[in-house]
Structure formats: structure tokens, C-alpha cells
Amino acid sequence: MDDAPMSPSWGPLHDQIIDAANDVYGVHPGRRALHAKGTLLAGEFTPSSDAARLSTAAHLQGEATRATVRFSNGSGDPSSRDAAQDGRGMAVKLYLDDGTTTDIVAISRTVFFVRNPQDFLDFMTARKPDPETGQPDMEKLGAWLGEHPEAGTAVQEQLAAKPPASYAQLAYHSIHAFRFTAGDGEQRWVRYRWEPEAGEQTLSDDYAADRGPDYLQEEISERVAAAPVAFRLHVRIAAAEDDPTDPTVAWPQEREQVEVGRLELSGLDDSREQGDDVLVFDPTRVTGGIECSDDQILQARAPAYSASIARRSASR
């Protein structure tokens, strides 16, 4: 089953982004250019009693919805160590009654570091390792950062982050904004946050390194085999002064927050990514009652995924 992104077309810029990611992490046929290493789980999403008042979206109306979830590391190298200083991903696919799907894609950072795909490409190009040292040119990286002060918050988060104890003990943020439309026509801009019922917990760098290169993959498999893993989905509602198109700026903590559902994961999912199945989690794949913002990074995701999928599929 081919689960294609919402937009099947892409341009030279999106091919260049995939090329730049391959330059940083290497070429790994059949694997994602970013978030190459991950684990799939199966579960069910149940909306809260407050969800339907915010949006007419099908998965927020009361009935439970089947879900596939992929936890991942941000690196494009599938052999990277789980203890590496890296962002983590939580991508959720919900299977709606009409046969369509809708996706929620989130990361373990509250903000992104660029506002547009050209800046993303320039950053990835600056990160390209020197062939002689195998390390990035810190002078190039420093120059890029000096020209992009909006990246400061994301960089600080990255440098301060400790390895997680488990994928199940991280909070995940959508970073992009979406417009919810309620049954009465009222519209609100929101951002998602998945909060783990197990609480948030990190490890020391040394302890995480000693746990083995695949400890996050192994731990989540063992955890969900012993008992269900659960997250609560919250939305933060924008005020008039909050920009829904800028993923580099977090909305203030005092904004209204509403719990809109609970996700329970019951076990590993071995029904997807078998044979020719290409599983895609695309945040622009929304359903009625939810709309994407004009955030340039959000809008660039589907064509970038298309470029990546073409290469993944060709190598199968």
C-alpha cells in the first residue's frame, strides 16, 4: 500500500534538500533522508469531551480511531546511536471511517530553527562534513548562525537536551499551527503537544551511552509488551498576537490549553512498511475541520517527502 504525501510534485529545491541531508548523513537506500531510524507501534486515539467543541474533524467527535505511531531519531543515519544529541519524532497516523487518513507530526523540541526551506537547505549545506576530518566546518556553521538569530531558541534547546529514558517519556510538539473550525463556525489557531502519561525523564550522557546503540528501540518494544503506553493530546490556542506562520517562536505558556484526546499504544505494528508498503507521515494531510497555516516550512514538507519517497521507492 502506497501512502503518498498530499502533494505529489516537487521542485529542484526539494531535491537539493534531500541531497544535502544525504551529504550530512550518507545515502542509505530504502531509508528516510531524515528520521531514518524508528519503531512503529499500533494503538487507538480517543477524543476528549472538549474536542468536538473546537473542531468538526472526524477524529475529534467521540468515537475512537485506529492509529499507527512511529517514534524516531532525527538523524538520517539509521545506524546512529540512540544516545546521540538529537531531536526525537512522534508521528501519528489516524485511520478515519471514510477510508482516509490524517496525520499529526511532532518533535521533542518546542520550536524549529528556520522559517523557510531555503534557509533549511543553507543550514544543511553548512553542516556537510569535511571529507578530510569527517566533521562539519564550524566556521561555516558559525557564520550561518550569525546570520540567523531566529535559530537561537532551537539551538539552545538542542544543546541543553539530555538523552531520553524512553520514547514514552518525552513530550512532543507540532511546532506548526493549524486552524480548527468548530461546528458554530468559530475558528482558532492551535499547536499540538503530546504529553506522556509516564512522565518526562532523561538520562545522563554516560549512562545513556552505556545502554547500547539501540536502547530506545529496545526499551519501547519491551515497555509496550508489558503494558500499554499512553499520551494525552493538548492544543495550545493562539492569541491575536501569535503568528501561526512562524515555527521559530513558541507561544507563551499562559495561552489557553485544552486536552483533546488520549492515545493508547498497545503493541508493535508489523502491518506497515512490509514489502512495497511506503508509510508516510505528512502534517499537511489534514481532514475537514482542520486547515494548514501558510508556514513555509509546513508547506514545504509534502514536496520534500515526495522527493525522498521517489528515492526510497526506486531502491526497493
Q: What is the pLDDT of residues 239-261, one digit of tens each?
A: 999 999 999 999 999 999 999 99
Q: What share of the chain is helix, strand, coil (3-state, %, to 5)?
A: 30, 25, 45
What is the mean predicted confidence (pLDDT) over 73-89?
96
* Catalytic residue annotation: 35
Question: Has residue 2 got a pLDDT over 70?
Answer: no
Share of the chain above pLDDT 90, in %: 85
Q: Which residues pair with 106 in a beta bridge?
A: 90
φ and ψ at 188, to 5 degrees?
Answer: -140, 140
Return the C-alpha cell found at 172.
Answer: 512532543
Q: What is the pLDDT of residues 16-27, one digit of tens each?
A: 999 999 999 999
User: What is the predicted pLDDT for the residue at 273?
Assistant: 84
Does residue 68 sit in helix, strand or coil?
strand
User: What is the predicted pLDDT for the residue at 4?
Assistant: 65
In 63-182, alpha helices (H): 117-126, 138-147, 152-160
Q: What is the pLDDT of residues 125-169, one digit of tens each?
A: 999 998 888 888 899 999 999 999 999 999 999 999 999 999 999
What is the mean predicted confidence (pLDDT) over 57-75?
97
Going along the chain from its start, the domains and CATH numbers come out as: 12-314 (2.40.180.10)
Distances (CA, A) of 278 to 3, 33, 89, 267: 6, 14, 18, 20
DSSP state of 65: E
Grade residue 86 by pLDDT with cuts at 50, 70 and 90: very high
User: What is the predicted pLDDT for the residue at 312?
Assistant: 83
User: What is the predicted pLDDT for the residue at 71?
Assistant: 98
Question: Has residue 8 got a pLDDT over 70?
Answer: no
User: What is the predicted pLDDT for the residue at 130?
Assistant: 86
User: What is the predicted pLDDT for the residue at 1?
Assistant: 45
- Rounded Cα distance between 218 and 211, Å, is 10
Neighbour tally for 55: CB within 10 Å: 28
Residue 222: CB partners within 8 Å, gap ≥ 6? none
**Closest to 9 measured CA to CA, from 278, 310, 313, 315:** 310
DSSP state of 155: H
User: What is the predicted pLDDT for the residue at 316?
Assistant: 58
Question: Has residue 262 got a pLDDT over 70?
Answer: yes
Q: What is the pLDDT of residues 170-192, one digit of tens each?
A: 999 999 999 999 999 999 999 99
Q: What is the pLDDT of residues 187-203, one digit of tens each?
A: 999 999 999 999 999 99
* One-letter amino acid of 2: D
User: What is the predicted pLDDT for the residue at 276?
Assistant: 77
In the chain, alpha helices (H): 12-25, 117-126, 138-147, 152-160, 205-210, 215-226, 296-314
Q: What is the pLDDT of residues 269-311, one digit of tens each?
A: 988 888 778 899 999 999 999 999 999 999 999 999 888 888 8
The answer to whether 65 touches 264, Cβ cutoff 8 Å, is no
The answer to whether 128 touches 121, Cβ cutoff 8 Å, is no
User: What is the predicted pLDDT for the residue at 96?
Assistant: 98
The answer to whether 58 touches 287, Cβ cutoff 8 Å, is yes
- Rounded Cα distance between 258 and 245, Å, is 21
Give the total residue count for the chain: 316
Q: What is the mean pLDDT of the chain?
A: 94
Residue in the structure block whose three cell numbers are 518525552: 170
